[in-house]
């Protein structure tokens, strides 16, 4: 997806796309809130403190081949969004799901 001057280019892993399909049926996911957070990240907006946005320590998704620059935020009570900002112009959505799904 091409990005406009003020938006980041969005990339999603195949696992994220599967997670998103599962989110449509999951009672813990507020899909409207998830999309709102994703749009804010894409538009370079600071996330509200209620989302508990923070960098993950170590490598995600695993210690062998994961990334060291992943971030996580809580879009609802037990629904998380894992993403990375590899550069100033793009965002990679890695996973979404509950704590037990992701860790």
Total domain count, the chain: 1
Statement: residue 3 has pLDDT above 60? no
- Regarding pTM above 0.85, the answer is yes
Residue range 15-70, pLDDT digits in tens: 999 999 999 888 889 999 999 999 999 999 999 999 999 999 888 877 777 778 89
The 3-state secondary structure of the chain, one letter per residue: CCCCCCCCEEEECHHHHHHHHHHCCCCCCCHHHHHHHHHHHHCCCCCCHHHCCEECCCCECCCCCCECCEEEEEEECCEEEEEEEEECCEEEEEEEECHHHHC
Query: Within a domain: residue 3?
Result: no
CATH code of the domain in which 56 resides:
3.30.2310.20
Query: Within a domain: residue 1?
Result: no
Residues 91-100 have a mean pLDDT of 95
Structural domain that includes position 63: 9-102
């Amino acid at each position: 997806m091409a990005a406009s001057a003020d938006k980041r280019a969005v990339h999603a892993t195949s696992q994220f796309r599967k997670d998103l399909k599962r989110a449509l049926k999951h009672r813990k996911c507020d899909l409207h809130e998830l999309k709102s957070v994703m749009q804010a990240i894409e538009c370079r907006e600071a996330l509200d403190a209620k989302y508990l946005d923070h960098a993950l320590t170590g490598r995600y998704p695993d210690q062998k081949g994961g990334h060291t620059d992943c971030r996580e935020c809580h879009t609802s009570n037990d629904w998380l969004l894992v993403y990375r900002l590899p550069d100033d112009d793009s965002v990679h959505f890695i996973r979404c799901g509950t704590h037990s799904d992701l860790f």
